[in-house]
Structure 1
Amino acid sequence: MKIIVVEDEVDILRGIQEVIDHSQLPFEQVFAVHTAEEALELIEQYRPEIILTDILLPEMTGLDMLESVKALAYGPKVIVISSYNNFIYAQRSIQLGAIDYILKPIHKEELAEKIGVVYDMVQRELISQDQIKNQIAYARLGTEALQEKFVQGLCMQKTALQEHIHHRLQVWGMQWLETDSYVLISLSINREDVRGKQDKDMNLDLFAIGNIADEILKSYQPSVIIRSIHHDWVILTAWEQELSIAQDIHERVLKYQKIIPAIGISERQHSFQAISEAYEQSRKALKVALMNSNQRIASYADIIDRIDHEDIGLVRQWVAEAVLGGDAEVVSLWLEEMIHRFILDRDVSKTGDLSIKCFEWILEVHSCLAEKVDMEISHFPLELWEKAERCPTVDDLKRLLRDHLSELMKLVADQQHPSLPNFMIDKAKRIIDGKYGEAITLQSVADELSIHPVSLSKLFKKETGQNFLDYLTEIRIEQAKRMLRDTNLKIYEIAEKIGYQEIQYFGKLFKKRTNMTPKEFRYGR
């Protein structure tokens, strides 16, 4: 607490200072000046809680000074000293905020008592103000806790917009959720990025990130941020450029905390009841961001677009066929997609969980491959699993598995019987020879062989020197030539028997292959 004494008479000023010193009141600072002008400068700078001033001062009076102090609007306690027993002075002093009026000559005991009374009054007010501030703070914390619990409930289960929900949204200024479209953004940090830190330090980091995000959201309203049940952060926002929010948070957290945050963004929702669905989407996107060092801001729309919804059993067979055919591009493509799919599994929360999923899938690929090549595929060293367990990031795991499948392709190429690819193509040829008159396609033949059509196409070209369609056309034209020579079937009947429904199309193909029309070929022209 601070006090200022304004008195132009030196002896009286010194006497008042002595009274204050002997009172043993714990003032933080005691200012003593001779003029109102000096006093105003100090009052404006330090805002002392108690002002003790004479009325008659050089140039500016004490009452005029109090008029100027009143304009500062900070409410000090004022004791006025005067040698005039004049009601008008006393009345104006009270109007200007004085709580006591002392006549000269001053008695030290009386002055000490009055200063002590005012000191106690200010002290009680300060304590009361602190209590009110604490009560407001506790009330705000309680309100925030209730709001957090309410929003967590909306995130965890689908909630209809009933009347009591409507009232709560109004209380917390969240009624925009009833009318505006919105997204959910989940925000966290990767524990592997801050390896070595204790839990309390990580909690401090998360707390700091939440504060940064809260400050940023003031520029992106309407928005609200709460703690999730996973102890990280969830943002609900109607701001239309949600990616701008994510990028702003990412940049500021990196700048001020030296931490790379992971951020997952839901699809934009247009229904209040969809909050729980949006929350689930943002958590899935967050998981991708947490486990992928190259994609720390992930959108649910993007990760869903990337997923191929093919049956996982078919994918295993296609990968096995790609390994068999030495197609590294197809192997790499499906490996990438399967890892992406595994990341979104509910039971995968860290790289170790993902390693187990991938290990089991590689074993299944081995099993499919062993069935196809009629040989034992035992090239799966225990070291692979041990290395997978030690992979710190998803990228490291991808590289490890990609390298393993490449080694597997080399092993199959070195150990398999030379006639194996020919066997596969021979089987494809037999299917074509038996069904050339039907609506046969690359896909239908691939399905019969349990092989991906892309792999079959590449293998067919590699082993025969021509693509699938050229071979099919060649077989059909040869059969047409035989029927034109040896039967009396009409030309359109022959076209239908070899798989062509349009006689004009058949005629063009026949002439392109033989340099004759079917009729010219039949009559030897």
Structure 2
Amino acid sequence: MKIIVIEDEVDILKGIQEVIEQSGLPFEQVFAVHTAEEALTVIEQCRPEIILTDILLPEMSGLDMLESVKAFGYQPKVVVISSYSNFMYAQRSIQLGAVDYILKPAQKEELIEKIGSVYDMVQRERISADQIKNQMAYARLGTEALKEKFVLGLCMHKTALQEHIHHRLQVWDLQWLETHSYVVISLSINKDEFRGKEDKDINLDLFAIGNIAEDIMMSYQPSVMIRSIHHDWVILTAWEQEQDVAQDIHDRVLKYQKIKPAIGISPRMHSFQAISVAYEQARKALKIAILNSSNRIVSYSDITDRMDEENDVRISQWVAEAVLDGDDEAVRRWLGEAMERFMLDRDVSKTGDLSIKCFEWILEVHSSLAEKVDMEISHFPMELWEKAERCPTVDDLKLLLQEHLSELMKLVLDQQQPSHPNYMIDKAKRIIEAKYGEEVTLQSVADELNIHPVWLSRLFKKETGQNFLDYLTEIRIEQAKQLLRGTNLKIYEIAEKIGYHEIQYFGKLFKKRTNMTPKEFRYGK
């Protein structure tokens, strides 16, 4: 606490200063000045809590000085001292906020008593102000806690917009949830990346991330941010460029905390009742973002969520079929969709959990392959499992599985080539020549030969120099030539007889092969 004494008489000023310093009152500083002008400079800079001033001072009176102090925007305790017992002075000093009035000459004991009384008054007000401040802080904390609980309830449970909910939204200044479209954004970190850190340190990181995000969200209003039951952060915002919001949070957290946060974004919702749905979708997107080190901002709309439970069961069969077909692109696509769905599984929360899921799935793929081909592939899984356990990220795990499936694809194609290719192709040609007028396809011929269509296609090309469809077309066009010259059948009848049901397609194909239309060929042009 600080006190300033303003007195133009040197001896009196020095005496008052000595009384204060010897009083035992724990003032931090005691300022002593001779004029009101000097006093105003000290008061403006140091803001002493107590001002003890004479009334009659050179150039500017003490009371005029107090008028000027009002402009400084604070309220010191003022004690006025004067040798004049004029009531008018006392009255004006009280109007200017003086808490006491002392007449000269004042006794030492009286002076100490007066200053001590004002000192105690300031102390009591300080304590009271601190108590009020603390009570207001607790009240704000309580209010925020109730608001968070209310919003969290909207996220966790589907809630209809009833009258009492409408009033509570108004109380918390959340009525925009009724009138605006909005998204839910979930924000967290991949705790696997913080191995070796204690839980309290991880929580401090999460708290710091929350502070950064909360500060950022001040620029993206209307919004509300809460802590979820999972101890990460949830943001509801009506800001229309939600990707910009997420990117801003991501970049600033990375800049200031050196952490890549994971962010999941729900689709934009247009009804209040959909808050819980949006929350669940944001949580699913967050889960993908946590596990995916290459993309830490994930929108739910980008997640593959098209397959039903029946398709979940069949996905390993589809991958097996793609392996048999030698379709590397399909293998990669199904693998990506399978891994996304595994990441959304309730039992998967870290890369190790995902590795287990993927290993079980690879066993299903192997089982599906075993039903279709006669070969030994069971030695792969354990070796794969050992490698999968060492994968630090989802990207590493995905690459490992892609390499494994590519190896399977090569193994299947290399080991399942027919042992007598010439005999097999001759037999395929005979089937084509006998059934060219029917719905002949690569698959139907492969089925008759009891081999895979991919192998038949590759073998046919290798042995004949042309692909299956070209050979079939060649046989059909040769038959058409014979029928055009040797019969009176109409052109559309000939087309149907050799396996083409659309005469225009047949005409284009015939001309492409012979440089003549069927009619021109018939009449010998």
Q: TM-score, normalised by structure 1?
A: 0.89
Kept in 2: contact 1:379–1:408 (CA 8 A): no
Kept in 2: contact 1:307–1:341 (CA 8 A): no
CA distance in 2, matches of 1:41, 1:423: 112
1:419-434 matches, within 5 Å, as 419=419
**How much does 1:117 deviate?**
1.3
**How much does 1:339 deviate?**
1.6
Kept in 1: contact 2:7–2:34 (CA 8 A): yes
Alignment deviations for residues 159-209 of structure 1 (CA, whole Å, 9 cap, x no partner)? 111111111110111101111111111111111232221111111111111
Alignment deviations for residues 407-429 of structure 1 (CA, whole Å, 9 cap, x no partner)? 33344355445549999999998
Kept in 1: contact 2:33–2:39 (CA 8 A): yes
Kept in 1: contact 2:78–2:98 (CA 8 A): yes
1:140-289 matches, within 5 Å, as 140-289=140-289
**Which has the higher mean CA deviation after the structures are superposed, 275-284 or 338-347?**
338-347
Kept in 2: contact 1:166–1:175 (CA 8 A): yes
CA distance in 1, matches of 2:27, 2:51: 13
Alignment deviations for residues 441-466 of structure 1 (CA, whole Å, 9 cap, x no partner)? 77999999999999997887677654
**How much does 1:236 deviate?**
0.7
Q: TM-score, normalised by structure 2?
A: 0.89
CA distance in 2, matches of 1:467, 1:368: 29
Read off the aligned partner of 2:231 and give its amino acid letter. Answer: H
**Which has the higher mean CA deviation after the structures are superposed, 211-220 or 512-521?**
512-521
Alignment deviations for residues 484-505 of structure 1 (CA, whole Å, 9 cap, x no partner)? 6887755433422443233343
Name 1:6's counterpart in structure 2.
Answer: 6
Kept in 2: contact 1:318–1:452 (CA 8 A): no
**How much does 1:353 deviate?**
1.5
Residues 1:338 and 2:338 are matched in the alignment: yes
**How much does 1:264 deviate?**
1.1
CA distance in 1, matches of 2:54, 2:469: 112
The SS at the match of 1:100 is strand
Kept in 2: contact 1:321–1:452 (CA 8 A): no
Alignment CA distance shift 1:421-1:333 (3 Å):
farther
Name 1:389's counterpart in structure 2.
Answer: 389
CA distance in 1, matches of 2:72, 2:342: 66
Alignment CA distance shift 1:460-1:295 (3 Å):
farther
**How much does 1:324 deviate?**
3.8
CA distance in 2, matches of 1:477, 1:317: 39
The SS at the match of 1:120 is helix
Alignment CA distance shift 1:92-1:57 (3 Å):
same
Alignment CA distance shift 1:232-1:461 (3 Å):
farther
Alignment deviations for residues 353-404 of structure 1 (CA, whole Å, 9 cap, x no partner)? 2111111111111112222221221231523212212322101111222222
**How much does 1:62 deviate?**
1.2
Count matched residues.
Answer: 525
CA distance in 1, matches of 2:456, 2:118: 98
Alignment CA distance shift 1:517-1:237 (3 Å):
closer
Alignment CA distance shift 1:263-1:31 (3 Å):
same
CA distance in 2, matches of 1:17, 1:462: 113
CA distance in 2, matches of 1:173, 1:118: 44
Q: Which runs of 5+ in 2 are unaligned?
A: none
**Which has the higher mean CA deviation after the structures are superposed, 325-334 or 66-75?**
325-334
Alignment CA distance shift 1:483-1:304 (3 Å):
same
CA distance in 2, matches of 1:427, 1:88: 130
The SS at the match of 1:323 is helix
1:475-486 matches, within 5 Å, as 475-477=475-477, 480=480
Kept in 1: contact 2:304–2:341 (CA 8 A): no
CA distance in 2, matches of 1:455, 1:126: 91
Name 2:109's counterpart in structure 1.
Answer: 109
CA distance in 2, matches of 1:182, 1:39: 58
Name 2:95's counterpart in structure 1.
Answer: 95
Two-structure CA RMSD over aligned residues (Å): 3.6
Read off the aligned partner of 2:22 and give its amino acid letter. Answer: H
CA distance in 2, matches of 1:514, 1:375: 46
The SS at the match of 1:311 is helix
**How much does 1:282 deviate?**
1.1
CA distance in 2, matches of 1:195, 1:455: 49
Kept in 2: contact 1:373–1:420 (CA 8 A): no
**How much does 1:130 deviate?**
0.9
Q: Percent identity?
A: 82
1:64-79 matches, within 5 Å, as 64-79=64-79
Name 1:375's counterpart in structure 2.
Answer: 375
Read off the aligned partner of 2:242 and give its amino acid letter. Answer: E
